[in-house]
Every structure is written in structure tokens, then in C-alpha cells.
């Protein structure tokens, strides 16, 4: 359509960054940040130069998930990203104290986000993974429109409620013509460590069915697993702490499909 061209031009690609991929969810607590971090590390393990940006301004979790503390330094007037596990990371959590409530209004948040995108010395990257804020508000829309996204990965649990919200996220990206790279079903099933039986705590297969319905690729399932939770919260994501384990393998397979 006639408006497509100017909008594409208005999107400002970031020099040196091959592709920007958003990891999004319709609601919080579905494991979006855990997925974003492990996917970025999986992309890196697959041989790509990857970095991750925490756009979750109100609840930044990347400092904890990546076990990074301290303040970023400036170089040549730009912000030097923090780094762990060989991966560059930027988060509002490095700029404000943990526990400090963010009381910013929309425009301030938008400019902070765009600054983290454009004024950080990311260097040459094949892919920058953005851990999006949950939901489909103004901030998400701005980022989707202005970050020149190559596409979005939607994370959902198999649960109906989470899926309804995931659908809203898909609609938002469709509206701004950001391709949906696919859907990941997180907390897909639980394998009992004692008896080995698989339990579908939040149901199972909902995300796959949803992906089919909207014509988006189904990227894979990640089980509900104690190891994922413990390592996530300890800042030792499974892709780096258990590189030969089944979860690392699953994330790397998903990363290959992006
Ligand atoms: P979101 O970014 O969607 O709010 P998080 O990634 O912060 O979600 O995850 C919420 C909580 O669930 C965290 O404690 C995290 O460790 C845990 N979690 C995420 N994915 C899994 C999983 N597959 N198995 C077990 N725990 C998980």
C-alpha cells in the first residue's frame, strides 16, 4: 500500500547490527526474559554475534538473569554495554538501583529505549535480541515501529489466557508490519524427576495450534523445569551452564529456525 514505503524508510536501521529480533509476550510471567536470554546465548553458541537488550523498563531482569552488576562506562560519548558469557547486554537495570520504582511517563521511556538502542556501542552484531516489555502498550508499539525489527518471537504458555494475550501481541506486530518469526511454547510440560511421567500442568500444544491458526511457524517447546528456573534465577542460563543438556539443545534448535 501507499504508506508502506515512507514507514519503512522512517524506521532507522542501526549501523553494524544485522537484524533486530524482538522476544515478546502478551502477558508477564510466561518466561519471556528467560527465553530471550537463552535464545541470544543459543544464537551465539550457533556461531552468530549476538547481544541482548532489555526493553523491560519497569521490570528489568537481564542484570539478574545474566549475573551482571555495576554501571556501564562511556566511551567516546557512547555507552559501553555490559558483558557476561561473551555477550553484550544493556538494561535499564544498570542505570537505576534495584528496587527503585520507575515513575517515568511514556515519552521519557521511549527516549530511554531509543537511546539504549542507538547510543550504545554495540559493535558489529549479526543479531540483537530485544527482551520486550510484556503486553501491547505504547512502549511496545513505539519500539516495534522505530527499532526496524526484522521480526518478533512470541512466547506463550499453553494456557488459554496466555494464548489470548499472545494473540494480541501478534496482532500488534501485524499492525506495524513486523513479521512474526514464530511462537515458542514455554512451560510446555513437566517431566516428573522421580517417576519420569510427563504432566501438562498448563495444558499442552496450545501454542502449536495457535501458530497454525495464524500461519506463523511453531518454533518449539521448552518444558517447565526446575533446572531452567534455578539457573535463570541464579544468573547462569541453561544454555551456558548446561551446554550439552536437553534444554540447551532445544534453545539452539529454536535459534536455528529464526
Ligand atoms: P517474563 O519475562 O515473561 O516475565 P521470566 O522469564 O522472568 O518471565 O520467568 C518468570 C519465572 O518463571 C522466573 O522465575 C523463571 O525462572 C521461571 N521460568 C521461566 N521459564 C521457565 C521454564 N521453562 N521452567 C521453569 N521455570 C521457568
Note whether residue 4 is domain-resident. Answer: no
- Whether residue 74 is contained in a domain is answered as yes
Ligand 1: which of 37, 41, 232 to mutate, most ligand atoms within 8 Å of CB? 232
Question: Would you say residue 7 lies in a domain?
Answer: no
As for how many domains the chain has, the answer is 1
The Cα 33–Cα 114 span in angstroms is: 19
Residue 46 in any domain: the answer is yes
pLDDT at 15: 85
User: Is residue 233 lining ligand 1, measured as CB closer than 6 Å?
Assistant: yes
- Residue 137 — very low, low, confident or very high, per pLDDT cuts 50/70/90? confident
Q: What are the pLDDT digits (tens) for 194-248? A: 898 989 888 888 889 989 988 899 999 999 999 999 999 999 999 999 999 999 9
- Rounded to an integer, what distance in angstroms lies between the CA atom of residue 16 and that of residue 28? 31
Confidence (pLDDT) at 2: 39
> Who has greater pLDDT, 2 or 178?
178
State the Rg of the chain over Cα. Answer: 18
Rounded CA gap, 210 and 226, in Å?
26
Q: Is the dihedral of CA 59, 60, 63, 65 positive or negative?
A: positive
For residue 224, how far is its CA from the centre of ligand 1 (angstroms)? 9
- The whole-chain average pLDDT of the chain stands at 89
Euclidean distance between CA atoms 251 and 229, whole angstroms: 15
Ligand 1 centre and the CA of 2: distance in Å?
42
Complex ipTM value: 0.99
CATH number of domain containing 243: 3.40.50.300
pLDDT of residue 138: 80
User: Residue 5 domain-assigned?
Assistant: no
For 102-140, letters b (16+ CB in 10 Å) and e give eeeeeeebbebbeebbeebbbeebebbbbbbbbbbeebb
**CA-nearest residue, atom 20 of ligand 1:** 31
* 222 CB near ligand 1 (under 6 Å): yes
Q: Is residue 6 part of a domain?
A: no
Q: Which of ligand 1's atoms lies nearest the C-alpha of 29?
A: 4
What is the number of the ligand 1 atom nearest to the C-alpha of 131? 2
Q: Is residue 66 part of a domain?
A: yes
pTM: predicted TM-score of the whole model, two decimal places = 0.92
Assigned C-alpha cell, 85 = 558469557
Known binding residues for ATP are 26-33
**9: in domain:** no
Name which residue leads in pLDDT, 142 or 102: 142
Which residues constitute the domain of residue 53?
16-256
Query: In which order are the strands placed within the sheet that holds 50-54?
Result: 82-84, 87-91, 50-54, 125-131, 17-24, 151-156, 180-186, 218-222
Amino acid at each position: 500500500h501507499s504508506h508502506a514505503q515512507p514507514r519503512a524508510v522512517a524506521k532507522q536501521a542501526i549501523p553494524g547490527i544485522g537484524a533486530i529480533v524482538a522476544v515478546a509476550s502478551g502477558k508477564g510471567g510466561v518466561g519471556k526474559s528467560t527465553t530471550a536470554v537463552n535464545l541470544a546465548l543459543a544464537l551465539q553458541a550457533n556461531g552468530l554475534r549476538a547481544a541482548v537488550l532489555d526493553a523491560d523498563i519497569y521490570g528489568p531482569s537481564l542484570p539478574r538473569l545474566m549475573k551482571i552488576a555495576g554501571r556501564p562506562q562511556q566511551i567516546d560519548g557512547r555507552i559501553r554495554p555490559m558483558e557476561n558469557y561473551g555477550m553484550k547486554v544493556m538494561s535499564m537495570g544498570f542505570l537505576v538501583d534495584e528496587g527503585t520504582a520507575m515513575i517515568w511517563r511514556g515519552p521519557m521511556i521511549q527516549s530511554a529505549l531509543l537511546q539504549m538502542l542507538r547510543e550504545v556501542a554495540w559493535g558489529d552484531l549479526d543479531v540483537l535480541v530485544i527482551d520486550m516489555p510484556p503486553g501491547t502498550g505504547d512502549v511496545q508499539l513505539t519500539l516495534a515501529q522505530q527499532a526496524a525489527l526484522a521480526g518478533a518471537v512470541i512466547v506463550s504458555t499453553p494456557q488459554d489466557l496466555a494464548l489470548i494475550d499472545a494473540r494480541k501481541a501478534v496482532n500488534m506486530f501485524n499492525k506495524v508490519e513486523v513479521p512474526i518469526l514464530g511462537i515458542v511454547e514455554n512451560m510446555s510440560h513437566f517431566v516428573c524427576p522421580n517417576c519420569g511421567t510427563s504432566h501438562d500442568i498448563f495444558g499442552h500444544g496450545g501454542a502449536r495450534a495457535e501458530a497454525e491458526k495464524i500461519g506463523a511457524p511453531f518454533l518449539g517447546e521448552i518444558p517447565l523445569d526446575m533446572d531452567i528456573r534455578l539457573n535463570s534465577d541464579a544468573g547462569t542460563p541453561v544454555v551456558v551452564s548446561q551446554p550439552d543438556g536437553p534444554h540447551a539443545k532445544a534453545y539452539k534448535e529454536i535459534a536455528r529456525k529464526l
